[in-house]
Amino acid sequence: MTILQRITTEYIEAEDRVRLSGASPSGETVSLWITQRLLSRLLKVILNWTAEGDNGHQAIKNAFAQQAARADLKLQLSVPAQPSAVLVNAIDISQTAEALTMVFRGAEDVVGQLTLQRSDVRQWLNILHDTWCRAEWPQDLWPDWMSLPQGGPAAVTQVTLH
């Protein structure tokens, strides 16, 4: 299993799925395929964990938090994709008040683990939302507070998250 420190998230149109390329602190890299179906399930958990309540005031607070996370995104070098990516069959999630850990499982075994702090999760949500939009997948999963108001920052085409 590879403990991932940096990731690159990209939609690959020919595969109609998301490729997550990750690197460990030692430089070991792994590429993971995540289907829309599995990503939908993951996003429901992440959105519930990230959302700080469900009333009107909390929606505004979440929208501001997402905009702040988008503003803090920094362009970095991408993690190179591996030619033999592993199809993720399951993702085990554990969470604390400030961190979310995802363990990615392939058909045979665990292939990677990623722990993100709350601010990193919000940044990754923005990346996933942009990726989802590029894929032209149904938007009904996304809460209103994830959408930027008109005139907001332009979508980042590819960002590596540390």
Q: Per-residue pLDDT tens for 135-162?
A: 999 999 988 878 755 334 444 445 555 5
What average pLDDT does the segment 118-125 reach? 89
Q: In the chain, how many domains are there?
A: 1
How far is residue 9's CA from residue 81's CA, in Å, rounded to a whole number? 10
> Is residue 50 scored above 70 in pLDDT?
yes
Residue range of the domain that includes 79: 2-161
Q: Which two tokens stand for residue 87?
A: 């199809």
CA angle (50, 52, 55) in 5-degree steps: 130
Q: Are strands 2-4 and 110-117 parallel, antiparallel or unpaired?
A: parallel
Residue 157's pLDDT is 43
User: What is the per-residue pLDDT across 10-20, written as a single tens digit (0 to 9) for each?
Assistant: 999 999 999 99
The answer to pTM > 0.85 is no
Tokens of 55: 């009333």
DSSP secondary-structure letter at 154?
P
